[in-house]
Structure 1
Amino acid sequence: MDLAPGWDALIDEYRSHLTAERGLSVHTVRAYTSDLTELAAQVAVPPSAVTLAGLRGWLAAMADAEAAPATVQRRVACVRGFFAWAAREGYVAADPAARLKAPKRGRRLPKVLSADTMAEVLDGAEVRAAEEGSAITVRDAALLEILYSSGLRVSELVGLRLRDVDRERRAVTVLGKGGKERTVPLGTPALAALDAWLARRPELAGPASPDTVFLGERGGALDPRVARRVVHAATGPGEGVGPHALRHAMATHLVEGGADLRSVQEMLGHASVATTQIYTHVTSERLNQAYRQAHPRA
């Protein structure tokens, strides 16, 4: 894509800043790079000539294209961060994005599997592992148990190393977003499933296998796409849920059981408790629904 002069070099500089100084993931850096490239193509002027009016025109173009609200929010955040950095480093004279605001979007509550549904999913995986007896089915049962027990992101799960498991503390240590480390407890069923898998892990491991807890069929690190397929298959094609739904279920069930938000925030690795507060809305909505269905004068 041919961009106006100055964009390619500046985007490269910003990519280095995001990676080396802010420690963002490869996926996030790639997304930001794509967002900035699309912006550059839209405004069609050098970075130093971008104006607030031009950025608002870019927003209007996204609205015309019916871009998803979440996508617009992410792109605006990316552009605001980029120009704030560029102004701070002296690449542009002034920050044209300082007053740029994304349209507000309504809060969408996450889809949450009930505790009964989760029990059926996990029991089903255990039965399959017992009946089929393969290392893969034992691995999949452990994967599901740990996702629900710990609320790990799928990237954290596949990156979990053998030394990150602390049997004495009944917990795992994970490296989350922004390189932040946290320790998350594991329940008894998850530990039992993990022990069963680790006993079978040597069947897949080879001389070149990484020290990750979970392995693929050929002995390499487990691909996140495989983990997603495991969850989809276990929850049923009609549900259409992935690993993040198990994270939502874990958090919601903790809040419903009386866990305080600060503890849930730490377990999930949220930077702000405001992010965790969505689970109070989820539980409130479910209570309201139950009330409307059951109370004679609802």
Structure 2
Amino acid sequence: MDDTLARDIDDFRSWLRSARRLSEHSVRGYGADLADLLAFVRGRLDEDPRTAGLDLETLRDWLWESTDRGLARSTIARRSASARAFTRWLHETGRVDVDPGVRLRAPKAESHLPRVLTRDQMGGILDELAAAAVGGDATALRDLAVVELLYGAGLRVGELVGCDLGDVDFERLVVRVLGKGAKQRVVPFGVPASAALDDYLTRGRPQLATGAHADRAALFVGRSGSRLGARSVYALVARILEPLPGSGPAGPHALRHTAATHLLDGGADLRAVQEQLGHASLGTTQIYTHVSTERLRESYRSAHPRA
């Protein structure tokens, strides 16, 4: 049974890539969860061959065992979602007669407000990057353009590194990106981002995109001339955010969170922010209204004499 399950998991991952067109990062996430499930099923088979079957009880025991290992509720919730997606696919493809995961439930993930920088913090970051780029260093020019576009357009890191030169429209101040689910959208950015991009393309990129292996299409390239990778952007943003106070992940998504919150703080319509960010659900965007409310409460508590 476990060999069949292993083959089914491989086929499911292939389907996620080809039919769902999920990113490799998402496919790896599903794969890791289901690999753990496979190991659990194999362990049960070793203990008692009569347990050969991916049924609701097995799935529940797997989640219980994961909880017993001390895994976070958010991890358990994600594993439950991975299992339900997998068993639904098994049923829809006729590999099982009944979907065993349809009644599977898991604890709700912990609710954490995302990390958001203040306007002053964001301004300070951009001022420092601009100062470093004054001398014309190619990497400094690129880094400024990267952060300006991440914050100015509220992009995901995958969207940013996937941009080609032809995706930027300087006349209309928009960039075309490929978001989750291979959905394309056109996102506006501001004059500062436009200036930083223009400076990078004029003075920085020609220094980087040299040699036989240089990527001629990519908007952002690394020192070798190849397309800039998401890991490099993570390292850049982590280095920038490290000295700043605040908790939460210190990656590119913090700049996206910051952009969305600042838009709402400035009076932007929630649905306009949803479109800007490329959220499929308005509920996902509403997290930033909670951030704005919490920031208002903190300001009130620290500043109002009757707080």
Q: TM-score range by the shorter chain?
A: over 0.9
Say which of 226, 233, 237 aligns to 2:239: 233
> 2:255 matched to 1:220?
no
Say which of 3, 16, 23 aligns to 1:25: 23
1:4 corresponds to which residue?
A: 2
> 2:52 matched to 1:54?
no
1:269 corresponds to which residue?
A: 278
Structure 2's unaligned 5+ residue stretches are none
The count of aligned residue pairs is: 295
Residues 106, 235 of structure 1: CA spacing in aligned structure 2 closer, same or farther, 3 A cutoff? Answer: closer
- Counterpart CA distance in 1 for 2:118 and 2:63 is 39
Residues 105, 31 of structure 1: CA spacing in aligned structure 2 closer, same or farther, 3 A cutoff? Answer: closer
User: 1:237 offset after TM fit, Å?
Assistant: 3.9
Say which of 21, 28, 37 aligns to 1:39: 37
User: 1:238 offset after TM fit, Å?
Assistant: 4.9
Amino acid at match of 2:250: V
Say which of 52, 56, 80 aligns to 1:76: 80
Q: Could you tell me whether the CA contact under 8 Å between 1:43 and 1:55 is conserved in 2?
A: no
> 2:198 matched to 1:198?
no
Q: TM-score, normalised by structure 2?
A: 0.92
1:126 corresponds to which residue?
A: 130
Q: Could you tell me whether the CA contact under 8 Å between 1:22 and 1:178 is conserved in 2?
A: yes
User: 1:56 offset after TM fit, Å?
Assistant: 1.0
Q: Secondary structure at the match of 2:103?
A: coil
User: 1:234 offset after TM fit, Å?
Assistant: 2.4
2:114 corresponds to which residue?
A: 110
> 2:206 matched to 1:208?
no
Q: TM-score, normalised by structure 1?
A: 0.94
- Counterpart CA distance in 1 for 2:201 and 2:238 is 23
Q: Secondary structure at the match of 2:240?
A: helix
User: 1:226 offset after TM fit, Å?
Assistant: 1.2
- Counterpart CA distance in 2 for 1:238 and 1:283 is 20
Q: Could you tell me whether the CA contact under 8 Å between 2:264 and 2:270 is conserved in 1?
A: yes
Say which of 99, 103, 112 aligns to 2:103: 99
Amino acid at match of 1:51: D
Amino acid at match of 1:61: E
Q: Could you tell me whether the CA contact under 8 Å between 2:165 and 2:219 is conserved in 1?
A: yes
- Counterpart CA distance in 2 for 1:237 and 1:256 is 25
Deviates more, 1:243-252 or 1:104-113: 104-113
User: 1:68 offset after TM fit, Å?
Assistant: 2.4
1:289 corresponds to which residue?
A: 298
- Counterpart CA distance in 2 for 1:229 and 1:278 is 26
Residues 64-88 of structure 1, C-alpha deviation per residue, up to 9 Å, x if partnerless? 1221222222211111011011012
Deviates more, 1:116-125 or 1:55-64: 55-64
User: 1:105 offset after TM fit, Å?
Assistant: 2.6
Q: Could you tell me whether the CA contact under 8 Å between 1:48 and 1:92 is conserved in 2?
A: no
- Counterpart CA distance in 2 for 1:237 and 1:156 is 26
User: 1:235 offset after TM fit, Å?
Assistant: 2.8
Say which of 82, 85, 90 aligns to 1:86: 90
